[in-house]
Structure 1
Amino acid sequence: MRGVAVRYGPSTALDGVDLTVRAGERVAVVGASGAGKSTLLAVANGTVAASSGSVRVLGADPAALRGRELRRLRARVGTVHQHLQLVGPLRVVHNVNAGRLGSWSGPRAAWSLLHPQGVAEVAEALDRVGLAGRLHERTDRLSGGQQQRVALARLLVQRPELVLADEPASALDPALADTALTLLAGLAGERGGALLACLHDPALALRHCDRVVGLVGGRVVLDAPAGTLTVAGLESFFGVHR
């Protein structure tokens, strides 16, 4: 991102953001509520267009792509959304398989709703996130933390090159939160990719990421190696509390 701004009428969500995430990096984005963290990820996955500035994601400008080219890019970018974007009445297997829709044909995706495809891989992903045996449960009958793990399993079967995670551990207990971040960092590294994660917990950011980027009022005010920072310093500066 170079000089990226996002404006909604009189409000500015991002203001002149410069950010580079290189292959192999694990970068945490921290800041108080309303700092622009979620907007930053939305620009990175192409769901929000920058009002000004330039954006390149895996070598392409998402705003310039349409149709099949945009779907191909999005298949290479995996996102864990803060609001998860799961379909509650569907079985867990279908929500996990949604991670592969970008690489499936329309007929195969439709057929999978009747006869789920790749069940063994879905079951393995669910086992990795601690949901073994939940393959055929209705997703809306799971707890909030369990649904968050379904979203993580969806990302595991997608196997993206770039992983974007918006508060991926907010509904998880500390042990599962560490497991989730370890999975995401490992997933990003499997294909020589990168992780960009918005995190509300500075301790998680420092344990699992190489760099920390801090936002205040839509501006980048911190970009430093994690090893040079402390939990207390981040909590004090950004008003982020566990």
Structure 2
Amino acid sequence: MVGPGERVAVVGASGAGKSTLLAVANGAVPPSSGSVEVLGRDPSALRGRALRRLRARVGTVHQHLELVGPLRVLHNVNAGRLGSWPAARAAWSLLRPQGVPEVVGALERVGLADRVFDRTDTLSGGQRQRVAVARLLVQDPDLVLADEPASALDPVLADAVLGLLAAPASRGGALLVALHDPVLALRHCDRVVGLAAGRVVLDAPAAALTVPDLAAFYGARA
């Protein structure tokens, strides 16, 4: 369980089930058993407008980013607001961009304000990763789900990005983030959950763990 205001890191070797856990949490994959409650609702029980409202409150940074390469950075960032916009406004925004100042502000926070009108597929991998984070910032969700959001970033940028993703937790939201870097997990999260073969084998406060503890956990299950 991830409670209000909590920042939880999910750690484990490749194939441990981290990405699947996040996909279940955002409603993209149904649980094979049991049930999942997201912001007090069961996604599998919702349809239509009720499901769209819930999804608008959940922001996801996917491992494969889910960006549209030929579109401008501006449009990819604005996609974070599609869940809260009427369909007509979303379609019109492709012809006449909406909310440009907010998009520029989000891109400034990730160091890409000068790329707002560039095609997204002209950016480097690390820059595209930051576009995905900016998309989440304009969405301003209550729950952040992030799958390796700093894997292509240098240590300074990785620290900055994790700080941005953790911001909703400071106002009562929550962060659930899959990480391979034990330093980032311990620096930015309150709790660490370790997975192996899809099962929870570690659940401890970050303050009770050390970087060697997590390094040993990865090594024992690699």
**Which structure carries more relative contact order (alpha carbon 8 Å, separation 6+)?**
2
- Say which SS state the counterpart of residue 84 (structure 1) adopts: coil
Contact kept? 2:146, 2:177, Cα under 8 Å: yes
Aligned length: 221
Hey, which bits of structure 1, 4+ residues long, moved more than 3 A?
none
Seq. identity, %: 77
- Say which SS state the counterpart of residue 57 (structure 1) adopts: coil
- How far apart are the structure 2 equivalents of 1:236 and 1:87? 38
- Which residue identity does 1:169 align to in structure 2? A
Q: Which residue of 1 aligns with 2:29?
A: 48
After superposition, the CA RMSD in angstroms is 1.2
TM-score by structure 1 length?
A: 0.89
Q: Are the structure 2 counterparts of residues 215 and 131 from structure 1 closer, same or farther at C-alpha, using a change threshold of 3 Å? A: same
Contact kept? 1:234, 1:240, Cα under 8 Å: no
- Specify every segment of 5 or more residues in structure 2 that has no aligned partner in the other structure, as ranges: none
Tell me by how many angstroms 1:67 deviates. Answer: 1.6
Tell me by how many angstroms 1:189 deviates. Answer: 2.6
Say whether 1:173 aligns with 2:154: yes
Bigger share in strand: 1
Q: Which residue of 2 aligns with 1:220?
A: 200
Say whether 1:159 aligns with 2:140: yes
**Which string of whole-angstrom CA distances, capped at 9 and with x for unpartnered residues, describes residues 89-148 of structure 1?**
000000000000000001000000001000000000000000021110000000000000
Q: 1:117 aligns with which of 82, 94, 98?
A: 98
Tell me by how many angstroms 1:239 deviates. Answer: 2.1
Q: 2:112 aligns with which of 123, 131, 139?
A: 131
- Specify every segment of 5 or more residues in structure 1 that has no aligned partner in the other structure, as ranges: 1-19
Q: Which residue of 2 aligns with 1:71?
A: 52
- How far apart are the structure 2 equivalents of 1:207 and 1:72? 32
Contact kept? 1:182, 1:208, Cα under 8 Å: yes
Tell me by how many angstroms 1:238 deviates. Answer: 2.1
Q: Which residue of 2 aligns with 1:187?
A: 168
- Say which SS state the counterpart of residue 177 (structure 2) adopts: strand
Q: Which residue of 2 aligns with 1:26?
A: 7
TM-score by structure 2 length?
A: 0.97
Q: 1:230 aligns with which of 202, 205, 210?
A: 210
Q: Which residue of 2 aligns with 1:13?
A: none
Q: Are the structure 2 counterparts of residues 194 and 240 from structure 1 closer, same or farther at C-alpha, using a change threshold of 3 Å? A: farther
Q: Are the structure 2 counterparts of residues 171 and 89 from structure 1 closer, same or farther at C-alpha, using a change threshold of 3 Å? A: same
- How far apart are the structure 2 equivalents of 1:225 and 1:31? 16
- Say which SS state the counterpart of residue 83 (structure 1) adopts: coil
Contact kept? 2:22, 2:147, Cα under 8 Å: yes
**Which string of whole-angstrom CA distances, capped at 9 and with x for unpartnered residues, describes residues 133-167 of structure 1?**
11100000000000000000000000000000000
- Say which SS state the counterpart of residue 22 (structure 1) adopts: coil
- How far apart are the structure 2 equivalents of 1:206 and 1:236? 14
- How far apart are the structure 2 equivalents of 1:128 and 1:136? 16
- Which residue identity does 1:216 align to in structure 2? A
